[in-house]
Amino acid sequence: MHIGIIGLGKMGNNMRARLRKAGIEVTGYDPNPAVTDVASLAELAAALPAPRIVWVMVPSGKITDDVIHDVSDVLEPGDLVIDGGNSRFTDDAIHAEFLAGKQLGFIDVGVSGGIWGLENGYGLMAGGDAADVKRAMPIFDALRPEGPRDEGFVHAGPVGAGHYVKMVHNGIEYALMQAWAEGYELLDSRKDLVTDVTGSFKAWQRGTVVRSWLLELLVKALEEDPEFKDIAGYVDDSGEGRWTVHDALDRAVPVPTISAAIFARFVSRQKDSPSMKAVAALRNQFGGHAVRKS
């Protein structure tokens, strides 16, 4: 199999490497000449065998809109476009309808795994027609973690379902990080009693009901900087948490924990908070998101 990838940033570059390691030929395009395989989208299309599969891995919003429109001009009927970025699920129907007008297929895929995906594999959530998903399964199998397919991949439903499931995933992620961060701040506040905060978290990594990958990453961050002295307590949000709350409001579904985590991030932009330093450190650990230096 031979596919194209558009967007070779932190995620796209690692995905290209993992696919190649699995025996899938990949031609990548990126405006950055240091990482691209071809100089233009036209060269990308020319390098791929028909019917083509092109995976778009760029930031959500206008950039994704522009790339999908631009790549559609160099593709041919029967080709398939996969949006693996963090697009809002409501954009997927628009993209699918536009591409269908050119007889091009479309799949939306939520991708989780961050900067660790190259080594560990990516959790994948796909939305689209069953025939299109089946056609792309060798790609999904190469990207997902080793083990049973249904523990690292789901065809969640029609177009939009993949990004919707990923949106809810990220909303949950916000809440989990906030819980770990608040626990850190409470432990750290009792220096008169708790003399080893890092060790306390580390002791929870085996045999406890709260053991998790996020806990492992928090321990790693604490071992690198036990007091988070080099991190400002300012945390961005990339959008998915807000979208989760918006949809919950539209459907009158209570999500108090997720919504509280979103508002806590807004608080972080008003003062330097120990718990927000922990959230910033966690985002850096799993996703490579930039942190503000203290």
DSSP state of 146: S
CA neighbor of 52 nearest in space, from 38, 30, 71, 32: 71
- What values do phi and psi take at 119, rounded to 5? -85, -45
Catalytic residue annotation: 166, 173
Structure token digits, residue 128: 């689209």
Rounded Cα–Cα distance for residues 13 and 15 (Å): 5
Phi, psi of 167 (to 5 degrees): -60, -45
Q: Hey, what are 252's tokens?
A: 């009158």
Determine the 3-state secondary structure of 166 from DSSP: helix
d(CA 25, CA 52): 12
To the nearest 10 degrees (0 to 180), the angle between helices 89-100 and 161-189 is 160
What letter does residue 49 receive in the DSSP assignment?
A: P
The answer to whether 118 and 18 have CB atoms below 8 angstroms apart is yes
Closest CA to 12 of 2, 1, 27, 22: 27
